[in-house]
Amino acid sequence: MEATLEEQLTTVEIAKELGLLSEEYDQIKEVMGRAPNFTELSMYSVMWSEHCSYKNSIKWLKTLPKEGERMLAAAGEENAGLIDIGDGLACAFKIESHNHPSAIEPYQGAATGVGGIHRDIFTMGARPIATLNSLRFGNIDSDRTKWLIKGIVKGIGDYGNSFGIPTVGGEVYFDDCYNVNPLVNAMSVGIVKKDKTISATSYGEGNPVYIVGAATGKDGIHGATFASGDLTEDSADDLPAVQVGDPFQEKLLLEATQEAMGLDCMIGMQDMGAAGITCSTAEMSAKGEHGMIIHLDRVPTRQTNMEPFEMLLSESQERMLIVVKKGREQEIESVFEKWDIHCAIIGEVTKEQRLKYYMHDELVADVSAESLVLGGGTPVYDRDYEPAKYLEKIDAFDSSKVDIPENLVEVARSLVSNPNIASKHWVIEQYDSMVGTRNMVTNNPSDAALVTIKGTKKAIAMTTDCNSRYVHADPKKGTMIAVAEAARNVVCSGGEPAAITNCLNFGNPYNPEVYWQFVGAIQGMSEACRKFETPVTGGNVSFYNQSSDEGPVYPTPVIGMVGILNDSSKHMTLHFKNEGDLIYLIGKPSNDIGCSEYLYNYHNLKHSPAPEFDLEEEFALQNSIKDLIDQSLINSAHDISEGGLFIALIESAMVNTYGFKITTDQNFRKDAYLFGEAQSRVIVSISPDKEESLVSYLESNSCSYSKIGDVTRKYISIDDENFDSINEYKELYNTSLKNLIESQPKKK
């Protein structure tokens, strides 16, 4: 297989075209002891891409806290994170991005993102029970944004609804920085018995290797490479890199693999995601310290005359690689035949730790498994970083120069209709949230989504959180806030935060300012996760979210958190329950308006500091909320986030169409008191007969608090000023986003 000098010269150019650095090509030659052929070079190009190798991020990812008493799988060692939730059960969960594919083909890009994340869950033996997503789009007035959101939401809905897993939560944000490069992050959560999990490994010389699921086609070839570069005007030419999904095929694959795992004849199983057969054969072999012989001509295909590199790099969806105990072939094949799923032996496990791929008995590639994988022979880089120049504008911000508007009712209405705050009902109604009958929050909303674990009293709380504007202003503090808000949402819902997964969306890592954002985010995440004892179970890094025209997106480290309710009857909802209930603010009022929706969109001031945040105060607040819920002292709890206190009150009031009457603290700017987004604050409502017990608890635990008002019938009063009826805000809240998305394109 030795290449000629002419072939070597050609291969050097090809390596560059495939995104490999010259020093990486030299490293490949050194590892192989010769020049790679085209097929081998193609394999290295995808496995050493940022998307697969994390070569520019792994140094910092290793600093994240990964230890915890609930951890059942080391972070990054399996297809998804796995934690012990008691009663002999485990929860598998993970979040991943599908940003680049969604930017050029929104429907299939988003749909296959959902399919891929579910496969990561059920390859571990778990049955998915819930989906969440975190979506970022550009200016809502843009025709492109409307095209993207319609395609992406439909793709998520069609795939998830057909697959039969409820979408129970998520977030949607709009900002000009995402005009070219939207972010599509999908999270899946599943349940499995602790002793019934399966690993992504391969061992046992002579054990057969199967490919199961859909036939292999040419879709998705070099998808990992495509995801490891900036979006350009020519990105649409890479459309073949976008995979095509089939949720009905995936449903069959789920049921077939669940049944097959009951036979106890599988050594290991892995989803064929990025880099397809190459990735699954390499990672399973490296983990099991064995090798494989693979016969590519035995792979079921849906297109004729596919080249070896096309088969190795294809990212066709709904496929798995399975290693089975020798002698149990008939049992496994009968299961997949029953479900009408392709199940073909394509090779066998070898003792030698090499991967040898044949096409009609011709050896087309011979590589070391260890050299291809993260944690093995892939390159690791330590990139330069420096503080962003835009910090000068943030440091120059002076809130005293921001005038308080005379008409705060106008501000209130503006915020309620802001697409980042208004109801996402237009999105949510396209998702099936009730299939499986586990969802607890459809009619009883809480800050986090909750799903029951049937056959037990338990429930799982889950949420995705990140305010990228905060992270842009201060990467470390902003990411700490993202972790804290996720934990606060879980706590306000009655849960105990357990662990996180993350999806780290950033620009080009070769840009020192972008890498500074990334490093700060990792540092902030580490500090917050240690404080809340929520280890990082794994996740996804998505660099290169930028374009030549628009530059990088805001740094967006999305936190996917799960928490546990040992008693689902302790579920705490966010809405007011009774007229006459008292409203208390737990936490400190503030003059802070930094990075608020109020400042950013109403005043059009784009550079300001991240909101005030103190990790110790946040931790103490959350412990207090846990106790108040446990002692049944409060009727509702809702954290204060985007839009500030006023929006939290509106969201608590709208569910049952109540109003509220409050008095602001005259020691603070009225706009900051109502619309500022200082952290570590929760509003609770209580029955009047529990006020004494509540105050006694808060005083004895040195909690900051203030009684701000009470729940009224329908009208809103602030400092005795009429702020209109709750029905008017409810109408604005429920219709604003729909009206913006469905409005006719502007005439040019």
Phi and psi dihedrals of 497, rounded to 5? -55, 135
Find where tokens 């106890």 sit.
264
Q: Cα–Cα distance between 709 and 720 in angstroms, integer?
A: 11
CA 364 remoteness from chain centre: 37
Q: Got the DSSP string for 310-354?
A: HHHH---SSEEEEEE-TT-HHHHHHHHHHTT-EEEEEEEEESSSE
Q: Where are the alpha helices (DSSP H) in 638-725?
A: 644-654, 670-675, 691-700
Q: Which of 629, 503, 645, 636 is nearest to 587 (CA)?
A: 645
Paired residues of 718 in beta bridges: 662, 721
Residue 700 is encoded by which pair of tokens? Answer: 């004895």
Active-site option among 98, 118, 295, 575: 98
Angle at 595 between CA 592 and CA 597, to 5 degrees: 100
Amino acid occupying residue 228 = S
Tokens representing 389? 């120049």
Question: What is the distance between the alpha carbons of residues 655 and 662, in angstroms, rounded to a whole number?
Answer: 18
Contact 622, 728 (CB under 8 A): no
Region of 340 (left: φ > 0; alpha: ψ -120 to 50; beta: rest) is: left
342 is an active site residue: no
* Residue whose C-alpha is closest to residue 586's, from 681, 674, 673: 681
The SS3 of residue 717 is strand
The whole-angstrom separation of Cα 14 and Cα 32 is 17
Torsions phi, psi for 131 (to 5 deg): -125, 145
Could you tell me if 219 and 155 are in contact, meaning their C-beta atoms sit under 8 angstroms apart? no
Quick one: which of 710, 671, 691, 568 has its CA closest to 628? Answer: 691
Amino acid at 119: R
391 CB burial (10 A radius; 0-12, 13-18, 19+):
middle
Helix, strand and coil percent figures for the chain, each rounded to 5: 40, 25, 40
Amino acid at position 163, single letter:
F
**Residue 178 CB-half CA count within 13 A:** 29
Q: Which of 256, 244, 182 is nearest to 213 (CA)?
A: 256
In one-letter notation, the amino acid at residue 556 is T
- For the chain, helix (H) and strand (E) counts, in that order, are 26, 26
The strands making up 582-586's β-sheet, listed across from edge to edge, are 636-639, 682-686, 582-586, 705-712, 659-662, 715-718, 721-725
The CA distance from 558 to 466, in Å, is: 5
Query: 533, exposed or middle or buried, with CB in 10 Å at 0-12, 13-18, 19+?
Result: middle
In the three-class reduction of DSSP (H, G, I as helix; E, B as strand; rest coil), residue 599 is classed as helix
CA dist 492 and 516 (Å) reads 33
Q: Examine the residue annotation and report whether 51 is marked as an active-site residue of this protein.
A: yes
- Token pair, residue 642, equals 């985007």
Supply φ then ψ for residue 629, to 5 degrees. Answer: -70, -45
Q: Going edge to edge, which strands form the sheet with 81-86?
A: 81-86, 89-97, 183-193, 127-137, 167-174
Residues 658 and 713 sit within 8 Å (Cβ to Cβ): yes
Q: Looking at the annotation, which residues are catalytic?
A: 51, 98
